[in-house]
Amino acid sequence: MSRFRVTGFPTIFLLRDGNTYEYNGPRNVDSFRTFATSGYKKSSAKPFYLAPNSIVGRAIGQLYGVPRLCRSVYRLLHDKHGLSDAAIMLGFLAIPVAVGGVLICCLDAIFVQRAKEEFGPEHEHQE
């Protein structure tokens, strides 16, 4: 439900032709049918960045699933493999540090090479 940004129940969305429309009318079958067949044309579609069926909406939905994934990995490491909480925490903290280090090395290799090509070897660092 977080992908759809539901703030109250019942919230009803119509997904039609790649657009998302939120229904705010009365809660009866005739009103639902009218909105689904032609009434949605009178309302405006949600912008693409708020629509749950857009790339942004799907990415946000995946992002909301990260804590659940972390919890299941924690349970696997703690219960099945017997690792302590400190070891699991250090492992979780080591991942962003390692990814950041690799990213810095890649960016350094790209931009230092570009600087050498742009300014020439006479501007290399000298001690």
pLDDT (tens, 9 = 90+) of the chain, 127 residues, equals 455 566 666 778 888 888 888 888 888 889 889 989 988 888 888 888 788 778 888 888 889 899 999 999 999 999 999 999 999 999 999 999 999 999 999 999 888 877 677 776 665 665 5
Residue appearing with tokens 């109250």: 8
Per 3-state DSSP, the chain is made up of helix, strand and coil in percentages (nearest 5) of: 60, 10, 30
Q: Collapsing DSSP states into helix, strand and coil, what is residue 83? A: coil
C-alpha span between 50 and 57 (Å, rounded): 6
pLDDT of residue 12: 83
pLDDT of residue 2: 56
- The pTM score is 0.51
Report strand pairing: 19-23 vs 12-16. antiparallel
